[in-house]
Amino acid sequence: MAETFNLAVVVDDDPDIALAARLALRGMFERVETLNSPAELLPLLKSESPDAILLDLNFERAKTDGREGIDYLGRIKEIDPDAAVVIITAHGGVSIAVEAIKAGASDFVAKPWSNERLEATVRSAAALRRSRIDARVERGRTSELAHSPETPLLGKSSAMERVRMLIERAAPTDANVLILGENGTGKEIVAREIHRLSRRADKPMISIDLGATSESLFESELFGHVKGAFTGAAGERIGRLKAADASTLFLDEIGNLPLHLQPKLLTALEQRQVLPVGSNKPLPIDVRVIAATNASPDQLADEQRFRQDLLFRLNTIEIELPPLRQRRDDIPVLLDHYLRLYERKYDKPERQLPPAALEALMEHDWPGNVRALRHSAERAVIMAEGERYRTDDFSLPKRGQGGAVVSGANETLNLDQLERQMIERALRMHHFNISLAAGELGLSRGALYRRMEKHGL
């Protein structure tokens, strides 16, 4: 089931446009409010925290330069720095779109839009807001546990010390970085830390999850398009490469980039310019690329899957994040952090973790890595009773010989538990290769990612 959000606010003086947006988004949000003027939005932000805001750029009659919307965008960000604002306009070109994104907008859509494009853009913006808030919370909670007050990376193992050393050396440079690691190891956290310590930290890092982007949208998302470039291209769209101009572009799951688009990305990085779909006018860019993938080095070395010249362009610096099963000494630190975090969040008493429970948690392989441990800790805080946590509070799967999920006469008939077991089985069967596991289960990669997130894998 797709993720839902609480509140979206549409600000447009055209009632037909506002109604169209409300109808398109009502399945994604519990509430969709429409306002005629951004002046109505500012007081609302004092009492509400919208997950997404759609803001028109022009309100005064005969005004088409977008200045009014840009001004209100700045005022919105002053009230709520985490606001996810998607600019909507019928008049903006590439220059005003770039200005809006540099001023803090999450993305840009043109009227008239396709509902599919609008939904994807707004969902991405709302999810980015949620992850941005979560990341800030994490940074605030890790100061006493992490290696230094600044880093959000938890753990004091030698493997994590090496990761921090590589971050510190790579961040001040403009060298491209490739981050390798299984799902849930914290690749995006590393990317954000590199950006935070870089000379580009005053600009927002622009991200795109290539693992959750449909292949038909790859080119438009990366390079942008001009009006009429293809069916449904009712207006111009700025690509993520141009949006990241003078900043950092994070390409998550770069291994999913189709082979036929890899030469175009390589050309853009080598020539420092991007050619939108349907255009013959290249746009200059100054971008530092941080890429991440759960593909193994052997898979990346396969020329039928990934161009080696692009790989060499991306992996000037290579950082490999170890899976949690290879740094078990960090598990007590991680558990202490997340248990205390969720005890505060849910207003629960601080409970002790007995040695027997800790031993069981340290012996677990954690196929979903830190992400899975975090979800398990959250569940334990919610479900625990008494003064101490029990192993059962963490809902670890029962396993037999060889680590297989136990089945037989007493196997659960609970659909959620069965789904989790099947996903774990497919992941293990294919050594946590997401593409192969998704194929085994008859799912798309995006659908498998959503189910993994649901089950804390």
- HEC profile of the chain: CCCCEEEEEEECCCHHHHHHHHHHHCCCEEEEEEECCHHHHHHHCCCCCCCEEEEECCCCCCCCCCHHHHHHHHHHHHHCCCCCEEEEECCCCHHHHHHHHHCCCCEEEECCCCHHHHHHHHHHHHHHHHHHHHHHHHHHHCCCCCCCCCCCCCCCCHHHHHHHHHHHHHCCCCCCEEEECCCCCCHHHHHHHHHHCCCCCCCCCEEEECCCCCHHHHHHHHHEECCCCCCCCCCCEECHHHHCCCEEEEEECHHHCCCCCHHHHHHHHHHCEECCECCCCCEECCEEEEEEECCCHHHHCCCCCCCHHHHHHHCCEEEECCCHHHCHHHHHHHHHHHHHHHHHHCCCCCCECCHHHHHHHHHCCCCCHHHHHHHHHHHHHHHCCCCECCHHHHCCCCECHHHCECCCCCCCCCHHHHHHHHHHHHHHHCCCCHHHHHHHHCCCHHHHHHHHHHHCC
- Looking at the DSSP bridge assignments, the partners of residue 7 are 31
pLDDT of res. 78: 86
Question: Bigger pLDDT: 156 or 389?
Answer: 389
- Which CATH superfamily, name and number, covers 161-322? P-loop containing nucleotide triphosphate hydrolases (3.40.50.300)
Q: Is the pLDDT of residue 144 over 50?
A: no
The count of residues in the chain is 457
Averaged over 21-29, what is the pLDDT? 89
Averaged over 113-125, what is the pLDDT? 86
Angle at 124 between CA 121 and CA 127, to 5 degrees: 150
Domain boundaries along the sequence of the chain: 5-124, 161-322, 325-396, 412-457
Paired tokens of 433 = 């290769």
Q: What is the pLDDT of residues 394-414, one digit of tens each?
A: 988 765 444 444 444 345 556
- Min mean pLDDT across 103-107, 194-198, 449-453 is at 449-453
Averaged over 306-316, what is the pLDDT? 94
Q: Is the pLDDT of residue 306 over 80?
A: yes
Q: Is the pLDDT of residue 215 over 90?
A: no
Q: Is the pLDDT of residue 201 over 70?
A: yes
pLDDT of res. 66: 73
Q: Is the pLDDT of residue 140 over 50?
A: no
**Residue 312 pLDDT level (bands cut at 50, 70, 90):** very high
**Residue 373 pLDDT level (bands cut at 50, 70, 90):** very high
**Architecture (CATH level 2) of domain 325-396:** Orthogonal Bundle (1.10)
For the ranges 63-72, 221-230, 299-308, the maximum mean pLDDT occurs at: 299-308
Q: Is the pLDDT of residue 63 over 80?
A: no
Q: Which amino acid is at 237?
A: R
Q: Is the pLDDT of residue 151 over 50?
A: no
The C-alpha atoms of residue 428 and residue 431 are separated, in whole angstroms, by 5
Q: What percent of the chain has pLDDT over 70?
A: 85
pLDDT of res. 134: 59
pLDDT of res. 1: 41
The C-alpha atoms of residue 184 and residue 432 are separated, in whole angstroms, by 11
pLDDT of res. 100: 79
Averaged over 189-212, what is the pLDDT? 89
pLDDT of res. 410: 44
Say what the pTM is: 0.58
Q: What is the pLDDT of residues 162-173, one digit of tens each?
A: 999 999 999 999
pLDDT of res. 141: 38
pLDDT of res. 233: 62
pLDDT of res. 226: 79
Averaged over 18-24, what is the pLDDT? 89
Q: Is the pLDDT of residue 444 over 80?
A: no
Q: Is the pLDDT of residue 61 over 90?
A: no
pLDDT of res. 109: 83
pLDDT of res. 222: 87
The C-alpha atoms of residue 359 and residue 9 are separated, in whole angstroms, by 48
Same fold, 161-322 and 325-396: no
pLDDT of res. 148: 34
Averaged over 29-52, what is the pLDDT? 89
pLDDT of res. 363: 92
pLDDT of res. 404: 46
Q: What percent of the chain has pLDDT over 90?
A: 36
Q: Is the pLDDT of residue 195 over 90?
A: yes
The torsion defined by the Cα of 329, 334, 337 and 339, in degrees rounded to 10, comes to: -110
**Residue 70 pLDDT level (bands cut at 50, 70, 90):** confident
- Min mean pLDDT across 84-88, 129-133, 378-382, 398-402 is at 398-402
Position of tokens 């390798």? 180
Q: What is the CATH number of domain 412-457?
A: 1.10.10.60
Paired tokens of 277 = 């779909």
Mean per-residue pLDDT over the chain, rounded: 82
**Residue 440 pLDDT level (bands cut at 50, 70, 90):** confident
**Residue 117 pLDDT level (bands cut at 50, 70, 90):** confident
Q: What is the CATH number of domain 5-124?
A: 3.40.50.2300
Averaged over 280-303, what is the pLDDT? 91
